[in-house]
Chain A
Amino acid sequence: MTSTKPRTSTRTEVLESRPVNLDGFVEEWPEKGLVAMESDFDPAPSVRVEDGRIVELDGKARADFDFMDTFIANHAIDVASAEECTAIPSVDIARMLIDPGVSRGQVLAVTRGLTPAKILDVVKLMNVVEIMQAMQKMRARRTPANQGHSTSARDNPVQVAVDAAEGALRGFAELETTLGVVRYAPLVAIALQVGGQVGRGGVLTQCALEEATELELGMRGITAYAETISIYGTESVFVDGDDTPWSKAFLASAYASRGIKMRFTSGTGSEVQMGNAEGKSMLYLEIRCILMAKGAGVQGLQNGSISCIGVPGAVPGGIRAVAAENLVASMVDLECASGNDQSFSHSSMRRTARLMPQLLPGTDFVCSGYSAVPNADNMFAGSNFDTEDYDDWNTIQRDLQVDGGLRHVREAEVLQVRNKAARALQALFAHLDLPPITDDEVEAATYADSSNDYPLRDVLSDLKGAQSVMERGITGLDLVRGLETTGFHDVAESLLSVLRQRVSGDLLQTSAVLTADFTPLSAINDVNDYAGPGTGYRLAGERWEELKKLRHVTSATNPETEVG
């Protein structure tokens, strides 16, 4: 065939080959909900209260409520102030959000009475800079933090432990894991817990699994909190998953009954992805999720599109909507673990830009899963950032003088905690009569990058061992005892201190994390007091000195050497 293709410019070829063109983009289709946050098909705000009960919500009479409306009307909106607050012009509320003269508390007094459509109406008025400005004030905890993923493509518990240790050392306040082979879960969850405490005492850990097992591991004290309890913005998607807002609330109370920290998960795009957006914009549906979480009484929410990021990422203004959903979680006084946790783009530039609305103002957890392992080992299908990006991240923190929760750590320290984590796990496995970890594995783990760098484990024995952990009823206290008897006194002490928190219940407070001296830091004792320039969290003092360090910084005293 002699084709007569029109000649293309060399520049077009260069542009065509840029990674960003491997990403997918689609046109909006508001009738079907394939639209970020500006849709003519979203309802107009309205609320009417009769006899202390909301009888009309966003243009719908109570008789026409679906179960989301019912749940939100009954549990999420402050009936006493609803009519008054919703009557405030949206532009006034938007201005309150960015006005340093209006305190966070004053804003919360208004947002607690707002309907979903009203909240959407407010954030629709804000551009990304305003959203960031509002986030800076509305974030619940004063001190921002970050969360890491520690997983292994081979579910190798040794790798999970040492990468957890390194991650904790680098600054993650929470660590999350999940599995390829689910039956491995008990061993990997133990590894994460032990590794995390070696890296930095007080790190909180979780293991994402189906809900029953996740709860059991939490109740046994093998994990410290839970996050992957998914909620959706339409009744039909909820029903497809055999769930209701009430069943999720029930699960939440099961955690609370044991003093275990937990948050829900939701995000823009999930409903339209499943074809059941009911013609509403992604952000409107996400606001319904946020209020449902609020109504269920959980302290926090992981949002920011999460696993559906490809959907808002492909429509105009989608990343603005994602920033807005994080803000809405914070402005209704929920802890916000703000996404940035799934492979988002082929383009590094776009990956970084997507992060800015969370990194610059700071959120409770800037990433709800920065991959603390190479992305090939990330069993959450890859994160927006991984171990390769550590130095870039640290440099961006230093450039912009913002705290993204991480820091540069010298190799000697990294090797030391990795080695110790591997040895602690080795000793604990031997003590608990679990499949042995060899000295070769400890050695490999100390210096490894990815799961390919480790000797293969005997999967059969591991799975039997994992099963025996469940059958023998091993709990967090058994881990403490094992670490103590095998000479890892400090690790045992740290883990015990973490477990003790479930008795005091302090981690049930909004945005709670544990500091290295086991002080719970939450919206109660570390409340965000931002009130304009010079106030709130400032990157200064010791922490700023820490973040000035990078792998290579030329010494000013002796330019022939490097500091750090």
Chain B
Amino acid sequence: MTTATTPERTLTLREIGPAGRGTRPDEVVIAVSPAFAGHFTKTIVDVPHAEVLRQVLAGIEEQGVTARVIQVFDTADLAAISHGGAKLSGSGIAVGILSRGTTMIHQKDLPRLSNLELFPQSPLLDPAVFRMIGSNAAQYAKGESPQPVPTRNDQMARPRWQAKAALLHLKEFECIQAGRPAVEVEPVFGRVGSRRLG
């Protein structure tokens, strides 16, 4: 590449109004948890939330599908966040993301506790996986049959990440604002020590 180091991108979620129901059949909703890009700025393995959202958005855009981002405040339950997003999505497809990185693709007609694809091992999710998740969600929205994103497994994730995952889970629950409705947000990306990209 042209430069040796890539400055870290930042993300702010600018509220643009209450989260409404989409009408475009070619949209995917990305629903993020209460502490996403706020109280927390990166996943359990330090993937910046800016990169998480950017990659999911890119995966959707590459498939020629549009995306809307909403933030949920009254729950930190991934199934509830994702299913709530799916119900607002014009295509019925949503990607739900927790601050620690745990992600799910959901569809509005499914029971809440079910899902299309679930990525429970947050320590194993890197930017490339988030890109594939976005891409698959968009393909579902188009009525295509994507191959499920391969899920990985690591026996030693337990000793390394189990307790931190529990801690992050508890922290996210602390950020719940009961009764506050979900809002639609505009993701604003910036670069640390660099001018904003146009």
Contact = CB atoms under 8 A, between A and B. Distances in A.
A24 B160 contact: yes
B159 A313 contact: yes
Contact of B162 (A1, A275, A311): A311
B158 A275 contact: no
Contacts of B159: 22-24, 309-310, 313, 343-346
Nearest to B77: A275
Contact of B167 (A29, A308, A345): A29
A346 B156 contact: yes
B128 interface: no
Contacts of A61: none
A22 B164 contact: no
B173 A275 contact: yes
Nearest to A351: B159
B155 A24 contact: no
A382 interface: yes
A539 B129 CA distance: 54
A248 interface: no
B170 A314 contact: no
Interface residues of A, number: 30
A23 B156 CA distance: 9
A24 B5 contact: no
Contact of B164 (A24, A269, A309, A344): A24
Contact of B155 (A1, A23, A309, A382): A382
A384 to B, nearest CB: 10
Contacts of A309: 158-159, 162
Interface size class on chain B is 10 to 19
A34 interface: yes
Contacts of A345: 159
A381 B161 CA distance: 14
A538 interface: no
B188 interface: no
Interface string B1-44: 00011000000000000000000000000000000000000000
B163 interface: yes
Nearest to B3: A1
A24 B170 contact: no
A185 interface: no
Contacts of B164: 24, 26, 314
Nearest to B4: A1
B110 interface: no
Nearest to B113: A240
B162 A308 contact: yes
A381 B163 contact: no
B163 A375 contact: no
Nearest to A313: B159
A344 B165 CA distance: 16
B155 A315 contact: no
A32 interface: yes
Given A275-B173, A343-B156, A381-B158, A1 B5 contact: yes
Contact of A342 (B158, B160, B161, B173): B158
Contacts of B165: 273
Interface in B150-198: 153, 155-156, 158-167, 169-170, 173
B174 to A, nearest CB: 8
Contact of B169 (A275, A343, A381): A275
Contacts of B153: 381
A272 interface: yes
Interface in A294-308: 307-308
Among B4, B155, B161, B169, max chain A CB count under 10 A is at: B155
A484 to B, nearest CB: 40
A346 B155 CA distance: 10
B160 A34 contact: no
A473 B8 CA distance: 62
B169 A314 contact: no
B45 to A, nearest CB: 11
B161 A310 contact: yes
A65 interface: no
Interface string B95-119: 0000000000000000000000000
A311 B166 contact: yes
Contact of A29 (B4, B161, B170): B170
A25 interface: yes
A311 B165 CA distance: 9
Contacts of B158: 307, 309-310, 342-344, 381-382
Contacts of B170: 29, 32, 34, 272, 275
A275 B170 CA distance: 6
B5 to A, nearest CB: 5
B163 A25 contact: yes
A23 B155 CA distance: 12
B167 A34 contact: yes
A346 B160 contact: yes
Contacts of A375: 155
A375 B164 CA distance: 24
A24 B162 contact: yes
Interface string B130-166: 0000000000000000000000010110111111111
8 contacts: A1-B4, A24-B160, A32-B170, A269-B166, A307-B158, A310-B160, A344-B159, A375-B155
Closest 6 CB pairs of A and B: A310-B162, A314-B163, A382-B155, A310-B158, A32-B170, A24-B160
Given A1-B5, A308-B162, A311-B166, 14 more contacts: A1-B4, A22-B156, A24-B160, A25-B163, A29-B170, A34-B166, A34-B170, A275-B169, A307-B158, A309-B159, A313-B159, A313-B163, A342-B158, A344-B159
Interface of B: 4-5, 153, 155-156, 158-167, 169-170, 173
